[in-house]
Amino acid sequence: MKKTLTYPAKQQLITLLGSLLLSPIGHAHPVDTGTSTEDPEQLENMVITNRSDNLIGIAESASQGHVGQEQLKFRPISRPGEVLETVPGMIASQHSGEGKANQYYLRGFNLDHGTDFLTEIDGVPINQTSHSHGQGWMDTNFLIPELIETVAFKKGSYAAEYGDFSSTGAANIQYFKSLPETTIKFTGGMFDYYRGLVTGSSTLGSGELLYAGEVVNKGGPWTVSNDYLKFNGVMSYQVENDDSGWSITAMASKADWNATDQIPERAVTSGLIDRFESIDPTDGGASRRYSLTTEWHKHTSDSYTKIMAYGIYSRMALYSNFTYFLEDPVNGDQFTQPDERWTTGLKGSHTIYHQIGDADSETTFGLQIRNDNIRNGLFLTKKRDILSTVRSDDVWVTRISPYLDNKTQWNDWLRTNIGVRFDGFRFKVGNSNIANNNGEVYDGIVSPKLGIVLGPWAETELYLNGGLGFHSNDGRGINTQINPATRQAEAPAKPLSRTYSAEIGARTTWVQGLQSTVAFWWMDIDSELIFTGDAGSTEINRASRRYGFELANYYSPTDWLTFDLDFSYSKAQFRGDSAEGNYIPGSIETVAAAGATVHDFHGFFGGPRLRFFGPRPLIEDNSIRSKSTLLLSALLGYEFNENFSIQAEAFNLLNRKDSAIDYYYTSRLQGEAAGGVDDIHFHPVEPINFRVGVTVKF
């Protein structure tokens, strides 16, 4: 017989659902929904803060997970983007200066600088549309790892709340709203690395004021120093009442740097340059990001409502030279890609708790609106001086996205998640230096989602997920009639490209202290549209297919020691046969990550971490492949008392001469014949290096 919730039990369920929704990436543990005649009991909100917490009865797929500060603070992290490497199978690399957005890999994708993986900070999207350097530009350099309360991720396009850029998945990074103490931290290390951090919070009126400031300097092992200098600031104020609350958060970030971009193998093997030298020492960039976010939420016995609005101003100037003297043997091929934009958005959701027959259910009605006003371009330069204009545009991209999502617990062993989403777009380009490339295009797409969870049996659940998704193309490519580089006629790109995803998996906590997940996934894409910012035009690729499997394990034999081991394998190919081959260049195949972490064992904390990034095809016929990359890092710290601790971090302990990234294309060095040389171009990993930090709390 199916159970019917009594009022007190229903109140417990409402409290559980409320705790889930109060933190968009937090989850509460299941509660007993049996009958009771006692007065309603107000349960304490519970937020997951550790990967080892049990997601049985909570997760909607095998590839959904979370990471809390308890895990992050014991990991050696060389740059902020590496917090996303806590997503099993994810690689965050770099092919240029420290201030540039990372290069990301996941599920058979070279995600470039973020395309097809959506990342949010407190629900605010980080990915930038129609960016001058790459569609979906995801610059996470403004993140402060110590402020991260949780990172929740959902791989695959199975969640109705996520739309553009989320075909391979999405992650929501949530900052703390209050901190238990004031912290001052200073870290110094090799290659002119210095970092200062101050964080804290205090009661102000009826709310909590949080503040943080960070300064980072890094030279790097490069012959031409990165001279990377970053300033970060965060301030938030939160008021939380019994049934409602609101917050306002301001962030500011400023960075400047030189860049050692990827270099050709032939230049190193011939002795022309060292592996830490550059061909064009004037490459580099600068970035600015300022944001303001406000959020309000309210929960009742029957519903939960949340509304947030955000505004972001960002500016970037990027100077790059990847082909050296191939196009211009006199001045060189350096170019700049300025990008300045205002991004504004509104997100609202209303969830009602109800029943379908005797089944407990919740239905969410959501609406997301975003507008980007962009001024960007592509200019040829020499030593950062502009020589000529390839293209210069004003771009407006507006999207309106309503969605509906229903979660229902049908009985003790079956629950479902059904959703549908509509994304409507307006792409407009004006004031282009090429009049024929001005225009306005509208398009829309509907994306249904389905998830089925069976179990648990023996602390094990089975998952079946499927969904349609999409990715948008750059607004300039959608309106382009004339190729800005060749001045020849060019067909406009399709605005939206459909993706199809499915996954079957399992999650088990049957073994005491061990949480394991396995997922087998598949994804098709109608067309891999890429706006090539370096050329100012759109590259239209063939339809593709990817599939693979992922295995993730997290084991805590004691309360002071944990082990984790993640492994993923992906296969990526263009569909159909082509004489040039069907492999997708740069597509990731094998990733493995492992680590051991000590949590406060007689004052000691930390542990080693191993990351393996396997070989991958660099051209379509797979005749040229990259080598593998293996990095061993470690953190060791000691807490003298609750107020004072020290820690040491070591990176690339094996001192391997691997690549952080590899490409295969044509370039020309000075003195080489016209037409250039096809070669592997790589960005080396940094040699073994150390950092030491001191932390004071009061």
Kindly state the tokens that stand for 551.
């295995």
> Is pLDDT of 27 > 50?
no
The residues near 445 (Cβ < 8 Å, ≥ 6 apart) are 422, 423, 470, 496, 498
How far from the centroid of its chain's Cα atoms is residue 625's Cα?
A: 26
User: Taking a C-beta distance cutoff of 8 angstroms, is the pair 285, 319 a contact?
Assistant: yes
Residues 88 and 30 in one domain: no
Residues 40 and 61 in one domain: no
Question: Among residues of the chain, what percentage have pLDDT more than 90?
Answer: 86
What does the alpha-carbon distance between residue 572 and residue 575 come to, in Å, rounded to a whole number? Answer: 9
pLDDT for res 4: 33
> Is pLDDT of 33 > 50?
no
- Mean pLDDT, residues 354-382: 97
The residues near 242 (Cβ < 8 Å, ≥ 6 apart) are none
Omega prior to 180 cis, within 30 of 0: no
- Mean pLDDT, residues 267-274: 96
- Summarize the chain as % helix, strand, coil (round to 5): 5, 55, 40
Kindly state the tokens that stand for 307.
């509304």
> What is the biggest distance separating any 2 CA atoms in the chain, rounded to whole angstroms?
88
458, HSE (Cβ side, Cα atoms, 13 Å) = 3
341-355, 447-461, 540-554: lowest mean pLDDT where? 540-554
- Mean pLDDT, residues 159-180: 96
What does the alpha-carbon distance between residue 410 and residue 582 come to, in Å, rounded to a whole number? Answer: 44
How sure is the predictor about 46, in pLDDT bands with cuts at 50, 70 and 90? very low
pLDDT for res 680: 96
> Is pLDDT of 595 > 70?
yes
Cβ-in-10-Å burial (0-12, 13-18, 19+) of 344 comes to middle
pLDDT for res 539: 72
pLDDT for res 15: 38
Residues 10 and 129 in one domain: no
What does the alpha-carbon distance between residue 370 and residue 400 come to, in Å, rounded to a whole number? Answer: 7
**Tokens 């979660």 label which residue?**
407
How far from the centroid of its chain's Cα atoms is residue 197's Cα?
A: 23
50-54, 184-188, 285-289, 631-635: lowest mean pLDDT where? 50-54
How far from the centroid of its chain's Cα atoms is residue 252's Cα?
A: 19
How sure is the predictor about 9, in pLDDT bands with cuts at 50, 70 and 90? very low
Sign of CA dihedral 433, 438, 444, 445: negative
> Is pLDDT of 16 > 80?
no
> Is pLDDT of 664 > 90?
yes
What does the alpha-carbon distance between residue 420 and residue 355 come to, in Å, rounded to a whole number? Answer: 20
Residues 161 and 22 in one domain: no
Q: What is the domain count for the chain?
A: 2
| Run of H or E residues at 192 | none
- DSSP single-letter state for residue 42: -
pLDDT in tens, 496-552: 999 999 999 999 999 999 999 999 999 999 987 665 656 655 677 789 999 999 999
Q: Where are the alpha helices (DSSP H) in 260-415?
A: 265-269
What does the alpha-carbon distance between residue 169 and residue 162 come to, in Å, rounded to a whole number? Answer: 9
Q: Which domain holds residue 30?
A: 1-47
CA-based nearest residue to 311, from 341, 295, 296, 291: 291
Residues 436 and 467 in one domain: yes
* The pairing of beta strand 263-264 with beta strand 244-258: unpaired
- Mean pLDDT, residues 30-47: 38
How sure is the predictor about 38, in pLDDT bands with cuts at 50, 70 and 90? very low
Sign of CA dihedral 533, 534, 540, 544: negative
What does the alpha-carbon distance between residue 673 and residue 289 come to, in Å, rounded to a whole number? Answer: 43
CA-based nearest residue to 648, from 610, 685, 606, 593: 606
pLDDT for res 260: 87
pLDDT for res 551: 97
How sure is the predictor about 24, in pLDDT bands with cuts at 50, 70 and 90? very low
8 — phi, psi (to 5°)? -65, -40
Alpha-carbon radius of gyration of the chain: 25
Omega prior to 456 cis, within 30 of 0: yes
pLDDT for res 530: 63
> Is pLDDT of 250 > 70?
yes
Kindly state the tokens that stand for 689.
């290096």
Q: Average model confidence (pLDDT) for the chain?
A: 91
**Tokens 């690689």 label which residue?**
91
What does the alpha-carbon distance between residue 76 and residue 70 come to, in Å, rounded to a whole number? Answer: 13
> Is pLDDT of 7 > 80?
no
pLDDT in tens, 173-195: 999 999 999 999 999 999 999 99
149-158, 334-343, 469-478, 528-537: lowest mean pLDDT where? 528-537
CA-based nearest residue to 651, from 695, 683, 608: 608
Q: What is the pTM of this model?
A: 0.90
Residues 139 and 39 in one domain: no
How sure is the predictor about 70, in pLDDT bands with cuts at 50, 70 and 90? confident
> Is pLDDT of 139 > 80?
yes
Residues 72 and 17 in one domain: no
- Angle ∠(246,251,256) on CA atoms, nearest 5: 170
- Mean pLDDT, residues 99-111: 94
> Is pLDDT of 48 > 70?
no
Residues 12 and 101 in one domain: no
What does the alpha-carbon distance between residue 147 and residue 474 come to, in Å, rounded to a whole number? Answer: 33
- Mean pLDDT, residues 19-33: 34
CA distances from 600 to 32, 433, 515, 635, 643 (A): 33, 61, 21, 13, 14
DSSP secondary structure, 498-564, as one string: EEEEEEEEEEE--STTEEEEEEEEEEEES--EEEETTTTEEEEPPPEEEEEEEEEEEEEEETTEEEE
pLDDT for res 126: 98
CA-based nearest residue to 237, from 251, 252, 222, 247: 247
What does the alpha-carbon distance between residue 329 and residue 671 come to, in Å, rounded to a whole number? Answer: 9
User: Taking a C-beta distance cutoff of 8 angstroms, is the pair 174, 150 a contact?
Assistant: yes
Residues 92 and 231 in one domain: yes
**Tokens 């403004």 label which residue?**
142
Residues 343 and 410 in one domain: yes
11, HSE (Cβ side, Cα atoms, 13 Å) = 12
Residues 39 and 178 in one domain: no
pLDDT for res 54: 78
pLDDT for res 537: 59
Whats the size of the chain, residue-wise?
Answer: 698
Residues 293 and 439 in one domain: yes
The one-letter amino acid code at 190 reads: M
**CATH number of the domain encompassing residue 368:** 2.40.170.20
285 — phi, psi (to 5°)? 180, 180
